[in-house]
Structure formats: C-alpha cells, structure tokens
C-alpha cells in the first residue's frame, strides 16, 4: 500500500514558518524582463509542474512572504547577479503578478518581490530550508538560460550569504547565490499557482515599473 503524503505535508507546513516581513525600499525599478511572453497558454501551463518541482496541486504550502518594511533596511544597495532558465523566469513574473493581485502589501516591483522572497528564505533555519528544497524538488534544466541582475539592499544580500554559510555548516548543503534565489522563487511560484486555482496567467513580455494594484485588497 502506498504511503500517504499528507503527514509529510503536515510536518513540512509545521516546520516551515513565514518570517517577519522585510523587503527592499531602494531597488532597481528597471529590473524587468525583456524576454518574450509565452504566446500559447497551454505551453505556458505545461511548464508549471517543472517549475515547482512536482508539488502536487492542493498540497499544503508555507505561507507566502509578507511584504514591505523598507524602514528596516539600510539605504546601501548592491547588484546581485543571478542565472535563470526562461520557463522559470516567465513563471516568476506570472507569480509576482498573482501576488500583486491577491496579497495585501505585495511588493510593487519585481526586484522588491525578489528581495522579499530572499529575506523570507534567509530567515528560515537551515533545516527549514532543507524541507523547502525537498518540497520544490530539483531545478529544471530545460529552457534557454540567461543572466539577470537586480539592485537589492545590501542587508538582503548579506542575510542571504550568511544563510548560505549556515546551510553549509549545519546541513552540508553547498548552494550558489543563484540556487538560493531559485529555491525561494520556485516555492513562491508553487504558492501563487495554488492560490490562483492551480494555474498561472501568461507572463507579460515586460513588467510595468509601478503596476496598478487592486482596489479591494
């Protein structure tokens, strides 16, 4: 008889807690995609399972990041270089827009959204980050790869780098900055997919710098 996965999900949900909200105030508003959107909705949807590492629909996920307290961050910023696969980047843009329309105090730029996810993930314990990694699975390797950099508060990047060191010492996981970002972004994609009824909207070719918000959040 196959083992039930619900108990594992319950354990993960209890172990993984959303940290107190922090995110970027001084960010690069121009950090946005120049990549083409998926023109076919079915093709876009086909990538979702890959992006979230096979997280089953309806499976309980950690709470999404609670977004912006800019006063807690230093004014100094640094550039963070990352490497993306095109399907993941497109779904990240879609997940950001879902968050914008469904979460109160959602980040109002893509770079702020990335900063909030990094901060949330860095505030987990090494064991909690292991469980997130198990939840989202291996990163997909299909799709065109490209570099993308973001201007983020130094506090956010320093916090991430300390978390990477903590993981190496506590659990033996050796992560690059890109892998750390990918892990928290793929969790956010899974959360947004679940919150949006099991699918994501098509990714826009370009994200607006200051997108409009829903009036009834």
- Tell me the per-residue pLDDT of 20-59, one tens digit each, with 9 for 90 and over: 333 333 444 434 433 333 333 344 444 434 444 444 334 4
Q: Which pLDDT belongs to residue 61?
A: 59
Alpha helices in 106-176 (DSSP H): 110-122, 126-136, 154-171
Inside any domain, residue 205: no
At 15 the three-state DSSP class reads helix
Inside any domain, residue 175: yes
Inside any domain, residue 23: no
Inside any domain, residue 185: yes
Torsion, Cα of 13, 19, 25, 28 (10° steps): -40
Domain that holds residue 162: 29-55+78-195
Q: Which pLDDT belongs to residue 62?
A: 61
Q: Which pLDDT belongs to residue 13?
A: 43
Residues 6+ apart with CB under 8 A from 109: 27, 29, 31, 209, 210
Q: Which pLDDT belongs to residue 142?
A: 87
Inside any domain, residue 38: yes
34: phi then psi, degrees, rounded to nearest 5: -110, 20
Number of domains in the chain: 1
Inside any domain, residue 45: yes
In which residue are the tokens 């903590």 written?
166
pTM for the structure as a whole? 0.70
Q: Which pLDDT belongs to residue 135?
A: 96
Q: Which pLDDT belongs to residue 60?
A: 60
Inside any domain, residue 19: no
User: How high is the mean pLDDT of the chain?
Assistant: 76
Q: Which pLDDT belongs to residue 69?
A: 47
Question: Which of 39-43, 82-86, 101-105 has the lowest average pLDDT?
Answer: 39-43
Inside any domain, residue 40: yes
């Amino acid at each position: 008889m196959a083992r039930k996965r619900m108990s594992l999900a319950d354990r993960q949900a209890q172990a993984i807690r959303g940290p107190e909200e922090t995110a970027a105030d001084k960010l690069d508003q121009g950090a946005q995609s120049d990549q083409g959107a998926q023109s076919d909705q079915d093709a876009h949807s086909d990538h979702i399972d890959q992006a979230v590492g096979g997280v089953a629909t309806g499976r309980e996920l950690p709470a999404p990041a609670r977004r912006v307290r800019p006063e807690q961050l230093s004014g100094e910023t640094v550039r963070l270089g990352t490497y993306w696969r095109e399907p993941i980047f497109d779904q990240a843009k879609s997940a950001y827009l879902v968050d914008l329309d469904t979460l109160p105090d959602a980040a109002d730029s893509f770079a702020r959204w990335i900063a909030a996810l990094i901060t949330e993930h860095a505030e987990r314990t090494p064991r909690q980050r292991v469980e997130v990694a198990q939840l989202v699975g291996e990163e997909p390797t299909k799709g065109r790869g490209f570099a993308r950099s973001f201007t983020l508060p130094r506090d956010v990047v320093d916090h991430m780098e300390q978390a990477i060191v903590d993981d190496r010492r506590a659990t033996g996981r050796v992560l690059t900055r890109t892998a750390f970002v990918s892990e928290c972004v793929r969790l956010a994609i899974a959360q947004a997919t679940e919150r949006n009824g099991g699918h994501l909207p098509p990714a826009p070719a370009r994200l607006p710098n200051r997108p409009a918000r829903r009036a009834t959040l």
